[in-house]
Chain A
Amino acid sequence: MSIDWSWIGDHTDDLTSLTLSHLQAALTAVFFGLLISLPLAVVAHRIRPLRGFLLGVSNVLFTIPSIAIFVLLLPVSGLTRTTTVIGLTVYTLVVLLRNTVEGLDSVPARTKEAARAMGTRPLRTLLTVEFPLALPVIMAGVRIATVMSISLVSVATYIGDGGLGQLFTDGFQRDFPTPVIVGVVLTILLAVVADALLVALQYVLTPWRRRRA
């Protein structure tokens, strides 16, 4: 198996746009996943009886095979980027919801108590005390969701999207390994870089967790 380096040179523009499209699909899914998970997690955290139900639903959604999810969505949103993003978003929920609930659970009762005793109202406590302190656990979920989404985007090739995944079908159809290898390498690179950037973001967002030099 050899790599045709000239093919890569001839297709840099395509590779760039596929990479960006791939990344965009994954990040949009994580963004909407957070948008849905954060409020739901607050509900699951505050109202105990709902916790099992919400986490259970996110688990069940996760067990739907990815191709099936895209097929099920076709009548709703067709062969579009929207279908890809909805499908990926559904998968992010399982980690984002669970980690956000666990993050909120991990905030020490004493700290919440102190906020209340100082005269902080519940919403402000949530935004300025609970979420910041839950951030490390939430960010752990965001990292998993991001890497998972980046690897899953390729599945959307079946509905004509799929970012770098298109390189796989292209390579298989022509029995030409170079696009497949390039696609795999770029996907891995994308995941590694995105993960590193999230680690850096977390470092910036949680100054209290750094050791003082």
Chain B
Amino acid sequence: MIQFDAVHKRFPNGTTAVHDLSLEMPEGGVTVLVGSSGCGKTTTLRMINRMVEPTSGTIKVGGRDVTRQDAAELRRSIGYVIQQAGLFPHRTVLDNIATVPLLLGHGRRRARARAAELLETVGLTADAGRRYPHQLSGGQQQRVGVARALAADPPVLLMDEPFGAVDPVVRTQLQDELLRLQKELSKTIVFVTHDVDEAVRLGDQIAIFRTGGHLVQCAAPAELLARPADDFVAGFLGAERGLKLLSLQTLAAVPQGPAPEGGAWTLVLDEARKPLHWAPKDPKDAEIPVRPLRDGDSLLAALDESLASPTGLVARVDADGVLTGVSSRDDIHEHAGQAHTQARVAA
């Protein structure tokens, strides 16, 4: 767990970057710090591993005051993923990943073996390990950045807008990978971003900062979306707050029934009973593609698909992609409404 207690940071030029911050970042959870630029979120992150020293107040990691530890040793015990990866251009990917194990004196062979293992963990090939950073794509470099931060298996991971410099498709992939990794590793992650959608996707809790280093609200994403503390938070979360809330709810609870037959549209399946497309009764009409959804998919995705479907029905499939049934637009809509009510009550 990371605890901020009355932390204040004023820079020599007189600007206050962080104002009287008290905040707990729970063990094994992802805390996302969001806010517009200059709001103190990055300074907050950097005070955890003493890249920036607080002016007053205390910061504890795992119960120990960070300012009472040797800064270099503290940093080796905390993974750090920097903006645009920040890889060492003169070291191979493998040696980049091995940086902290080498600093800890693990020996070259052991450090490289560990690095090779991590290469696989973050979804890169052994061949990529022999390359230099500039020979990789931006997305691949980010993966290396994550691998390097994980190399010494630190309990805490600091991520400073790590996916800010990659295109939206790659960004979504990297977010998925991070969520998958986090399921396995359960690190205490502090993640800085200015992207609300990224915060909602990744965060177990989201801390919203306002210019001047004020923490405005810190809450679970659903709570934040359902009950923003003030107009600033509501404005920051954006007009589609309700839809974002639906992205946090799964389809699992929505009832499903058998696929209808003999109507204007028929759901066509292959031999394995996997949905192919909607076929019209009237041969003049074109087939309409179907996007089957699993229980784990979001209500937002279901709502979207129900609008695209010619019948308003959403095809539901199991983990293997085999049809289990269909859900109606009305049922999905009703659950979406309930989700909002529940979030408001819970908050």
List residues of chain A with CB under 8 Å of any chain B CB. Answer: 108, 110-111, 113-121, 124, 129, 132-133, 206-208, 212
Known A114-B87, A212-B131, A212-B135; judge A119-B73 contact (CB<8 A).
yes
B301 within 8 A of A: no
A residues less than 8 Å from B80 (CB atoms): 114, 117-118
Known A119-B103, A208-B91, A212-B131; judge A114-B86 contact (CB<8 A).
yes
When C-beta atoms are compared, the residue in chain A nearest to B158 turns out to be: A117
Per the 8 Å Cβ criterion, residues 81-101 of B in contact with A are 82-84, 86-92, 99-100
When C-beta atoms are compared, the residue in chain A nearest to B74 turns out to be: A119
Give the distance to chain A from B125, nearest Cβ to Cβ, in Å. 15
How distant is the Cα of A117 from the Cα of B83 in the complex, in angstroms? 12
Per the 8 Å Cβ criterion, residues 53-94 of B in contact with A are 72-77, 80, 82-84, 86-92
Give the distance to chain A from B177, nearest Cβ to Cβ, in Å. 21
Question: B73 to A110, Cβ gap below 8 A?
Answer: no
Say which residue of B51, B72, B88 sits within 8 Å of A129 (CB atoms): B88
Give the distance to chain B from A158, nearest Cβ to Cβ, in Å. 44
Question: A132 to B90, Cβ gap below 8 A?
Answer: yes
A residues less than 8 Å from B91 (CB atoms): 208
A residues less than 8 Å from B75 (CB atoms): 116-119
B265 within 8 A of A: no
Question: B89 to A111, Cβ gap below 8 A?
Answer: yes
How distant is the Cα of A108 from the Cα of B267 in the complex, in angstroms? 57
Most chain B CB within 10 A, of A118, A119, A207, is at A118
A residues less than 8 Å from B148 (CB atoms): 118
A residues less than 8 Å from B236 (CB atoms): none
Pairs of residues from A and B, 5 with the lowest C-beta to C-beta distance, nearest first: A119-B76, A119-B75, A114-B86, A117-B80, A208-B132
List residues of chain B with CB under 8 Å of any chain A CB. Answer: 49, 51, 72-77, 80, 82-84, 86-92, 99-100, 103, 131-132, 134-135, 148
A residues less than 8 Å from B86 (CB atoms): 110-111, 113-114, 117
When C-beta atoms are compared, the residue in chain B nearest to A205 turns out to be: B90
A residues less than 8 Å from B77 (CB atoms): 119
Known A118-B75, A132-B90; further 20 A-B contacts with Cβ < 8 A? A110-B82, A111-B86, A113-B82, A114-B86, A116-B51, A117-B51, A117-B75, A117-B80, A117-B82, A117-B86, A118-B76, A118-B80, A118-B99, A118-B103, A118-B148, A119-B103, A120-B103, A129-B88, A207-B132, A208-B89
How distant is the Cα of A119 from the Cα of B69 in the complex, in angstroms? 12
How distant is the Cα of A117 from the Cα of B156 in the complex, in angstroms? 13
How distant is the Cα of A132 from the Cα of B134 in the complex, in angstroms? 16
A residues less than 8 Å from B100 (CB atoms): 118-119
Give the distance to chain B from A15, nearest Cβ to Cβ, in Å. 42
B residues less than 8 Å from A117 (CB atoms): 49, 51, 75, 80, 82, 86
B residues less than 8 Å from A113 (CB atoms): 51, 82, 86
B residues less than 8 Å from A110 (CB atoms): 82-84, 86
When C-beta atoms are compared, the residue in chain B nearest to A212 turns out to be: B135
A residues less than 8 Å from B84 (CB atoms): 110
Cβ contacts A to B, 17 pairs, < 8 Å: A111-B86, A111-B89, A113-B82, A113-B86, A114-B82, A114-B86, A114-B88, A116-B75, A117-B49, A117-B86, A118-B99, A118-B148, A132-B90, A133-B89, A206-B90, A208-B89, A208-B132
Give the distance to chain A from B317, nearest Cβ to Cβ, in Å. 43
How distant is the Cα of A132 from the Cα of B84 in the complex, in angstroms? 21
How distant is the Cα of A82 from the Cα of B185 in the complex, in angstroms? 64
How distant is the Cα of A34 from the Cα of B52 in the complex, in angstroms? 35
How distant is the Cα of A212 from the Cα of B93 in the complex, in angstroms? 14
B residues less than 8 Å from A108 (CB atoms): 89
How distant is the Cα of A136 from the Cα of B80 in the complex, in angstroms? 29
How distant is the Cα of A188 from the Cα of B204 in the complex, in angstroms? 70
How distant is the Cα of A108 from the Cα of B80 in the complex, in angstroms? 18
How distant is the Cα of A156 from the Cα of B84 in the complex, in angstroms? 53
Known A110-B84, A114-B82, A212-B135; judge A121-B90 contact (CB<8 A).
no
Give the distance to chain A from B13, nearest Cβ to Cβ, in Å. 17
A residues less than 8 Å from B88 (CB atoms): 111, 114-115, 129
How distant is the Cα of A79 from the Cα of B276 in the complex, in angstroms? 95
